[in-house]
Amino acid sequence: MSDHVLRERHGATLVIRINRPERRNAFDLEVREGIAQAVFEARDDDSVRAVVITGSEGVFCAGGDLKSLSQAKRPVFKDRDRIRRLHIWFRELVNLEKPVIAAVDGPAFGAGFNLALACDFVLATPRARFCAVFGRIGLVPDLGGFFLLPRIVGLQRAKDLVFSAREVDAEEARDLGIVMRVVPPERLLDEALAQAARYHDASTEALGIAKNILNRSFNLDQDTLAELEASAQALAIHTAYHDEAVANFLQKQPLRFPGVKK
């Protein structure tokens, strides 16, 4: 386990905490490998029913570690392979069939911005700042930015954020659909854990397969989605969770997951 990426259990929620404050929680090889290990743990551990990703000491993630990048110049195809390898675990994160919540305090820049976008929900403090910073140093978005950003904010706004490399505060990020809710800094983790706990009693199978299809919905036509819907419902209707819920309903007993009130 990496000292720069901590894993904490809060009941059925796994908290993944980037813990490299002396480098503003920047991505280096150790951080990337630590996040990858934590993502695979969340995927493979059935007792994990939700995930929270956060930073430490007032920073979510400042993006790539430019110092380590500048010291490790590689042939061009080695750099391509480096980015490709990121997507092995990043794809698993985006499509993790469990709810994932980003708890963002302070900067979420570059790859850190895209790490937050990879989560299903983003909670942020008023101190949060988001930036597709790549253009400032002559780079293009990586870590899934081309896929995630336009799907969340729309193509025109995605171009504005990428071309301008400007910072977005928490309120504007909420208006753009990046942030779901702005919360006080002292309540950030508690609010994220409370939201994660909402799903502990839901059907992980049903939530997971719904997330899987929703993530693909922009790329598929209506007929293909209808086929996926039919297959997904057939799987869900044969789960023990559904059988228990129907029995409780018919017997006028409380449902294990009555839904979440706003």
pLDDT at 66 over 70: no
* pLDDT tens by residue, 68-104: 665 566 778 787 887 888 888 999 999 999 999 999 9
Tens of pLDDT, residue by residue over 121-130, are: 999 999 999 9
Q: How far apart are CA 30 and CA 63, in angstroms?
A: 14
Q: 118 and 143: one domain?
A: yes
Report pLDDT digits (tens) over 192-236: 999 999 999 999 999 999 999 999 999 999 999 999 999 999 999
Instruction: Tell whether pTM > 0.75.
Output: yes
Tell me how far apart the alpha carbons of residues 100 and 84 are, in angstroms, rounded to a whole number.
23
Q: Rounded CA gap, 221 and 224, in Å?
A: 5
Q: Supply angle C-alpha 35, 154, 230, rounded to 5.
A: 75
CATH code of the domain covering residue 46 = 3.90.226.10
Domain match, 141 and 91 both: yes
Helices 204-216 and 240-250 pack at an angle, to 10 degrees, of 120
What pLDDT, on the 0 to 100 scale, is given for residue 135?
Answer: 92
Residue 42 shares a structural domain with residue 23? yes
Q: 219 and 109 in one domain?
A: no
Do 44 and 135 lie in one domain? The reply is yes
In a domain, 123, yes or no: yes
Rounded to whole angstroms, the Cα distance separating 174 from 171 reads 5
Domain carrying residue 33: 5-197
Residue the block writes with tokens 């400032």: 136
Question: Cα–Cα distance between 69 and 89 in angstroms, integer?
Answer: 20
Which of 180, 197, 214 finishes a domain? 197
In sequence order, which residues have a C-beta less than 8 Å from that of residue 14 and are 6 or more positions away? 7, 8, 38, 41, 42, 45, 48, 50, 51, 52
Give dist(CA 103, CA 194) in Å, integer: 12
Both 18 and 106 in a single domain? Answer: yes
Q: What are phi and psi of 2, to 5 degrees?
A: -75, 140
Tell me, yes or no, whether 69 and 114 share the same domain: yes
Please say if the pLDDT value at position 176 is more than 80. Answer: yes
Q: Does residue 260 sit within a domain?
A: no
pLDDT in tens, 7-50: 999 999 999 999 998 888 988 888 989 999 999 999 999 999 99
Q: Comparing 46-55, 58-67, 229-238, 240-249, which segment has the lowest mean pLDDT?
A: 58-67
User: Are 177 and 224 contained in the same domain?
Assistant: no
pLDDT of residue 261: 74
The verdict on 78 and 177 lying in the same domain is: yes
Nearest to 4 by CA among 37, 17, 93, 41: 17
Q: Are residues 87 and 132 in the same domain?
A: yes
pLDDT at position 122 is 98
Indicate whether 255 belongs to any domain.
Answer: no
Give the CA count within 13 Å in the CB-facing half-sphere of 6: 12
Which of these three, 152, 170, 197, is where a domain ends?
A: 197
State how many domains the chain has. Answer: 2
Residue 257 lies in a domain: no
Task: Give mean pLDDT, residues 113-135.
Answer: 97
Q: Which of 172, 197, 222 is the last residue of a domain?
A: 197
87 shares a domain with 21: yes
Answer yes or no: do 29 and 93 share one domain: yes
Tokens 């309120």 label which residue? 171
CA gap 59, 26 in Å, rounded: 9
